[in-house]
Structure 1
Amino acid sequence: MSSSTQVADATGVDEQAVAQGQVTKSVYVYEAPVRLWHWINALAITVLAVTGYFIGSPLPTMPGEASDHFLMGYIRFAHFTAGYLFAVGLLGRIYWAFVGNHHARELFTLPLTNKAYWQEVVSMVKWYAFIAERPNRYVGHNPMARLAMFFMFFFTAVFMLFTGFALYGEGTQAGSWANRVFGWVIPLMGQSQDVHTWHHVGMWVLIVFIILHVYAAIREDIMGRQSIVSTMISGHRTFKD
């Protein structure tokens, strides 16, 4: 049985009725903790990217006496706060992968040894490349999205947390929890400036991922005839054939 057939069976969609324009099927996919994490995570990454940029490329000057300004201090505080939120959120998301429904685990599990999975990835590549006329139906993330979520988001997010807290520990100095837990990262990667550089590169990887993610979500809503953006608000995926 093909993946698309499995999806049709799982959603209970009558294909003949769909072809006649008689059915719009809604399926509950993402539970409230997953949706809450998604939007908090989006906010945290936005704050981290903006403040991180100014930490790496500070403003050249501020008018008036230096003692009257604490701009970089506020920027660093916002960055650190968003970093803690990002870390706690990812830990909570990992926890929910164990206690939530099976869609909550799709972000962390990939059937890389399954030939059918790679065939589905290829079919989605054709869809995004405007070669295929219509995509297969998936209740959760499609195979290509799962691949991107794992390697471009999850893998990069873990890397950013390790390098970020290593740099944070360098600032809080020896004896702090961050330095004790993540202090080994800096000598492993060479020196502090190397970690700064790779942390900056990781930020751009996440930004590229977010651009592609938003584009794909809006594109699927319009061309794929299935809800994507609203699904992460209501939790329900609607097939609008």
Structure 2
Amino acid sequence: MSTPQSGPLSDSDLKGTNLDGQAAQALRARRVTQIYVYEAPVRLWHWLTAASIVVLAITGYLIGSPPSTLSGEASSHFQMGWIRALHFMAAWIFTIGFAGRVIWGLFFGNAWSRELFWVPFWKAEYWKDLLDELLVYAFIRKEAKTTIGHNALARTALFFCFTLTGLFMIVSGFALYSDGTGIDSWEGRAFGWVMPWLGGNLSTHYLHHWGMWIIILFVMIHIYTVTREDITSRQSLISSMTNGYRIFRDDRPD
């Protein structure tokens, strides 16, 4: 665990803020605490996964709703082939990154890197924090308490809308891919049970499609919440995923 670093804001911290007089004096009096939370492998995984999700969403949509037919000989065009190829490449990046993230979180990373993989439903404090966060985002409560890692609401959303949904997308995606590689391929042997279990090819396509929309909706809400938190709360979020540090802008214990 990283040692928290804190101290008053210096003149260099205020450079470029165009603040002077009482405003600058008040800011200098504040203490800033920073804790190294998001390690380099976690940050690399985050941005690679974000890029792969963008490619997967666009190409997946085009696979489900193909663009207009091109004129001319079919042999002269490889439009859908390129769309599928990009989808499969992004899927491999997402899958390898997901597996690497699990290995890092469970065996090498700090305590915060494991928060994606379980939710402490049995703890009363979790339910209290979850309610507090819901009240904040419903604009009933003014501000949320500070948390070093993910707050209860973010942790719940990550677990259900990203971790579990992402795992389903990997499994169902390889099951659909095995249709082309055949039952004797490693994809067919490893994931051939999925489509019969889900009710067949069409229902697997349907559920895979809706899994994409769950992740897209999660990403949209995620971008909104981290931006809102970075602007309105007493702690940083967006910059934390570039330098790894969570910055807390006051000394209040909550």
| TM-score higher than 0.5 | yes
Match of 2:115 in 1: 106
C-alpha distance in 2 between matches for 1:19 and 1:78: 49
Alignment gaps of 5+ in structure 2: 8-25
Deviation of 1:21 after TM superposition, in Å, equals: 4.3
Instruction: Give the TM-score, by structure 2 length.
Output: 0.86
Match of 1:56 in 2: 64
Change (3 A) 1:185 1:204: same
Deviation of 1:227 after TM superposition, in Å, equals: 1.1
| Contact in 1 for aligned 2:175/2:194 (Cα 8 Å) | yes
Deviation of 1:166 after TM superposition, in Å, equals: 0.2
Match of 2:203 in 1: 194
Q: Does 1:117 pair with 2:109?
A: no
Q: Residues 209-228 of structure 1: matches in 2 within 5 Å? A: 209-228=218-237
Q: Residues 173-188 of structure 1: matches in 2 within 5 Å? A: 173-188=182-197
Change (3 A) 1:119 1:20: farther
Runs of 4+ in 1 over 2 A off after TM superposition: 10-14, 18-21
Deviation of 1:240 after TM superposition, in Å, equals: 2.6
CA RMSD of aligned residues (A): 1.7
Deviation of 1:66 after TM superposition, in Å, equals: 1.5
| SS across alignment from 2:188 | helix
| Contact in 1 for aligned 2:146/2:234 (Cα 8 Å) | no
Match of 2:46 in 1: 38
Match of 1:151 in 2: 160
Q: How many residues align?
A: 229
Change (3 A) 1:163 1:125: same
Match of 1:137 in 2: 146
> For residue 66 of structure 2, what is the amino acid of its counterpart?
P
Match of 2:37 in 1: 29
| SS across alignment from 1:238 | strand
Alignment gaps of 5+ in structure 1: 1-9
Identity percentage of aligned residues: 47
Instruction: Give the TM-score, by structure 1 length.
Output: 0.91
Deviation of 1:13 after TM superposition, in Å, equals: 6.7
